[in-house]
Amino acid sequence: MSCRVVVGAQWGDEGKGKIVDLLSEEADVVARYQGGPNAGHTVVVGDQTFILHLIPSGILRPNTICYIGNGVVVDCDALRHERDTLLKQGVRVDGRLFVSMSAHIILPDHRALEQLTEGGPESVRIGTTGRGIGPAYTDKAGRVGLRVADLLDPGIREERVRRLRERAVHLLGPDAPLEPFEAVLARCAKDDALLRPMAVNVSHAVDAAMRGGKRVLLEGAQGTHLDLDHGTYPYVTSSSAIAGGACTGVGIGPTRITDVIGVAKAYATRVGNGPFPSELEGELAAKLREEGNEYGATTGRPRRCGWFDVVAIRHAVRVNGLTQLVITKLDVLDAMPEIKIVVEYEIGNRRVSEMPESLAELNAARPICEAFSGWRAPTTTARQWDDLPREARRYLDRVEELAGVPIRLVSVGSGRDENVRRSVNRPEAQPVGR
């Protein structure tokens, strides 16, 4: 039995979709534990590209059972569209995809509330996707949300939707352009037909799988520095994106987890507003963005780009308890004449090696970097550690040394087989994809 967690070690968009797909080859069960359709996992299989928002990346492996956990907020229109798209692409979904009875539902009113917030002054915008994720989590925390189990009970459904409508009118005003109440109820009836065949107790299902000796993989969305508690608050997501969120997000105890795999790009990116100490500007940032195709899979928004930030990674190692690190998009750096790693921040007259919790200090932080010669050679054909250019290995060795966690896999392209594996010396760390 194994239960592995895959978590983003930066600000999301680290390439977790590809890594979960790779790990899913040896997993019987894959469960998504938090977030909503604001996530975008891109997986390339042969000449096909799959973009997943709610459905776990394990769905692309024909023998894997997939669950959407209670920690996820579900937009039924998005789920329906995603399922139908996968079916058109030849992926069998029915009988393999299940949704927690305790997962909360995103309603049209939630989208209206979020769009109002994000339409305000720039100084108060978080930079969300406007899909209603934040308000849905707000209602969940306020104990007035609509769960899958509630949606499947017509009596509870109508009473809960009515109460949520009253809240929305109170917040937005009586003239707010909300979808007619009866139309929302009709949507819910349609969603009942979608969810009823999928609705299960995910906690029981995952527990039974582990007791039966099955291999379980828990998939996170976003990244550590967007975590509600441990990210760059308030410029964060509305759920627990760290590894601890995997326990509450599917309903298992922490003692069941056997491995925590952190995924990080060979550089850093961030979407939306908020502090980003390693951010680059001008031509260099544009070059990274174009080479890495750094545009959101969900929104298409250009991502902010910066150097690899070890201060941020050490924070991720600690709060997630990472047992190994996966580095993605190394090939994006192939043409760079010089590459840098942020090793400390300078804040006023101080040098710090840990991320401050103060937003003011994070905004004031200036990166202190180590510079490395670029390798100026393609890495996409490398499959073994020694296939990588010497300068690339030197760069990765330094990242590993500074992070304090072993690197077991390096992705050098978007394809399933474009990876470099590293041998494992410690028996407790099972390598990625082995």
Spell 353-368 as b/e; 16+ CB within 10 A means b. eebbeeeebbeebebb
pLDDT of residue 434: 44
Instruction: Say which residue the tokens 């809960």 belong to.
Output: 160
* Residue 88 known to be catalytic: no
For residue range 122-131, what is the model confidence (pLDDT) as tens digits?
655 665 667 8
In the CATH scheme, what architecture does the domain 264-421 have?
Alpha-Beta Complex (3.90)
What gap in Å lies between CA 285 and CA 361, rounded to an integer?
A: 23
**pLDDT tens by residue, 61-82:** 999 999 999 999 999 999 999 9
Feature table: binding site? 12-18, 38-42, 129, 143, 222, 237, 297-303, 329-331, 411-413
CATH class of 2-100+199-259: alpha beta
Amino acid at site 193: A
Provide the pLDDT for residue 131.
84
pLDDT digits (tens, 9 = 90+) for 383-419: 999 999 999 999 999 999 999 999 999 999 999 999 9
Q: Looking at the predicted structure, is the pLDDT value of residue 428 above 90?
A: no
Domain boundary assignment for the chain: 2-100+199-259, 104-195, 264-421
Catalytic (active site) residue 140 = yes
Q: C-alpha angle 194/198/204, rounded to 5°?
A: 155
Give the model's pLDDT for residue 405.
96
Q: Is 81 a catalytic residue?
A: no
Model pLDDT for residues 341-393, shown as the tens digit of each residue: 999 999 999 999 999 999 999 999 999 999 999 999 999 999 999 999 999 99
Query: How far, in Å, are 121, 131, 185, 412 from residue 295 at the CA level?
Result: 24, 18, 36, 18
- Could you tell me which residues are beta bridge partners of residue 3? 216
**Helices and strands per DSSP (H, E), number in the chain:** 13, 20
Which residue matches tokens 């009709």?
186
Is the domain spanning 104-195 CATH 1.10.300.10? The answer is: yes
Question: What's the rounded Cα separation, in Å, for the pair 242 and 220?
Answer: 8
> Band of the pLDDT at 330, cuts 50, 70, 90?
very high
Residue 104: pLDDT over 80: yes
Binding-site residue set for IMP = 13-16, 38-41, 129, 143, 222, 237, 301
